[in-house]
Amino acid sequence: MSTVFDGELYLRLTAERALLEPPQLGTIPWATPLMDAASALVSVDAVPADVAQAIVDDLDLALLLRGRGGRPPVPRPPNPGRPTGHRLNAPRVVTCNEEFEREWGRLRVHYVTLGDRATSVAISAIESSPGALMQSMTHPAQVPLTDDRGTTEVATFVAGGGGAPMGVSIMGVGYHGRLVTTRPLSRTTRFVDFPDDAHIELADNAAAPGVRVEPLPADTPAARYLWKRVAGFRFGPYPGALHEAIKALIAAGALSADDPVIDDVRAVTGAFFQSTGYLPAPSGFPVSPPPTVPTTGPLPAPWNSILARQGQGGGREIALGIGVVTPPIDGVTIAVDGLVSYQHGFDVHVTTSPGVFFGAIPFAHSVRDEQPTWWARDDCGNDYLAGSSGWGGDAAQTEGTVSFQPPLDPHAKSLQLLPSLVTERAVIDVTLPDGEVIP
């Protein structure tokens, strides 16, 4: 006799077990198996999102009161759901690739974005020696920018990108990020002046890249959720409590126990853990639990391409403005400013409307997985995956930097940026400049 699956009861029993069982060593204190199970069941409509969220919040509070982790309470609207966005206009983005000598080292200006709400300048501050920038008392926290009309706006340094947390160079000798004004300079300005006689002429780029929207390959809701869950974590595929998501999907009848996707996703998370580990203890985070399935054969595409070059340097050093806006992708519009590639990865600055939260499991605070997955592919057959590296905004609009790995292939001549949601993805065709154009 078959029984009807009760998603709410399943989650309440999972929460009860998580509360009664002792915490596991080697896991993130605020991450519980319940979030994986809840978001998986919500993705296949096995439980209402508001019911699942309430159970997750109750467990977090119970763990918090017992001193066992848990997230502080998060204010939530009475009827949660995706907010209404607004129209995004394509900014004017001009590639610069200028470099200026400073007493502390070199200031590299990659591109300038002239938008409706603000003006921003993508920069790298390369110190001549560790700490030189701070010691000179000229840290670019606030920089006046002037356009050809004589309008001056103070820009604040927003760190992010460069393949490292908070925009700090992995070599410890520089910063990457953007200078952002609170009010825009003239969109048609012919130049931008910096302090200390730094003058940048703004010659418009060639035509903006082509953009289109296409459906994602057909898949079951359960398989689509699992692959999105695996691809969404900032530092690479994260095992965590993935087994709880799989168990919940099987219990709900959304996934068969012998579905090949189960071994595939376990093999991917296991292979990446074996290759790079997850935030080892010296960085202040615990090590991820070991993979449950060893890698015995080739990984499915595109993961095989990413793992083959993961952790390598030697990336192509280029910067270019892009300046496009996608049509809506599953209801989300994305504006892309520009791209900066370093030896160890490449960054793309984007804006979304409506706003999306860029924090996947184990950092997610919502059972709704509405963030894009950031894929890219070049003309050499290489695939790339990105996570957020600095993010902010509100329900109507968010923006930040997404940092791609592995490094950009030096032989690539074109690149497709492929931001993907649930059923659709955008395809942004970017032509890469010849040679290394970062000074």
414-427: pLDDT as tens digits: 999 999 998 999 99
pTM for the predicted model, two decimal places: 0.86
Distance CA 372, CA 180 (A): 24
Arithmetic mean of pLDDT, 203-228: 90
* pLDDT computed for residue 161 by the predictor: 59
Distance CA 74, CA 58 (A): 11
Please list the residues that pair with 112 across neighbouring strands: 94, 121
Q: How many H-runs (helices) and E-runs (strands) does the chain carry?
A: 8, 17
Distance CA 348, CA 426 (A): 15
Q: How much of the chain, in percent, has pLDDT values that exceed 90?
A: 43
Residue 191 CB burial class (10 angstroms; 0-12, 13-18, ≥19): middle
Contact 382, 388 (CB under 8 A): no
* pLDDT computed for residue 78 by the predictor: 57
Please give the backbone phi and psi of residue 428, each rounded to the nearest 5 degrees, phi first. Answer: -110, 115
pLDDT at residue 350 is higher than 90: yes
pLDDT at residue 285 is higher than 60: no
Please give the backbone phi and psi of residue 73, each rounded to the nearest 5 degrees, phi first. Answer: -55, 140
* pLDDT computed for residue 197 by the predictor: 80
Contact 191, 200 (CB under 8 A): yes
Distance CA 274, CA 299 (A): 13
Arithmetic mean of pLDDT, 186-212: 90
Helix 242-251 and helix 260-276, axial crossing angle in degrees, nearest 10: 170
Distance CA 159, CA 390 (A): 7
Report whether CATH 2.60.40.10 matches the domain 210-215+312-431.
Answer: no
Give tens-digit pLDDT for 31-75.
677 888 999 999 999 999 999 999 998 988 888 888 777 677 666
- Cis omega (within 30 of 0) on the bond before 362? yes
Say how many C-beta atoms besides its own lie within 10 A of residue 357's C-beta. Answer: 18
Distance CA 262, CA 256 (A): 9
pLDDT at residue 266 is higher than 70: yes
HEC readout, 159-227 = ECCCCCHHHECCCCCEEEEEEEECCCCCCCCCEEEECCCEEEECCCCCCCCEEEEEECCCCCHHHHHHH
CA angle at residue 301 from 228 to 416, to 5 degrees? 75
Higher-confidence residue of 169 and 108: namely 108
Higher-confidence residue of 161 and 254: namely 254
The tokens for 183 are 């009010």
Arithmetic mean of pLDDT, 380-394: 84
Domain limits, the chain: 92-196, 210-215+312-431
Spell out the residues 6+ positions from residue 95 whose beta carbon is closer than 8 angstroms to its own: 110, 111, 205, 319, 320, 321, 338
Distance CA 435, CA 439 (A): 11
Spell out the residues 6+ positions from residue 261 whose beta carbon is closer than 8 angstroms to its own: 222, 223, 226, 227, 255
pLDDT at residue 322 is higher than 80: yes
Give tens-digit pLDDT for 131-166.
777 776 565 578 899 999 999 999 998 877 554 433
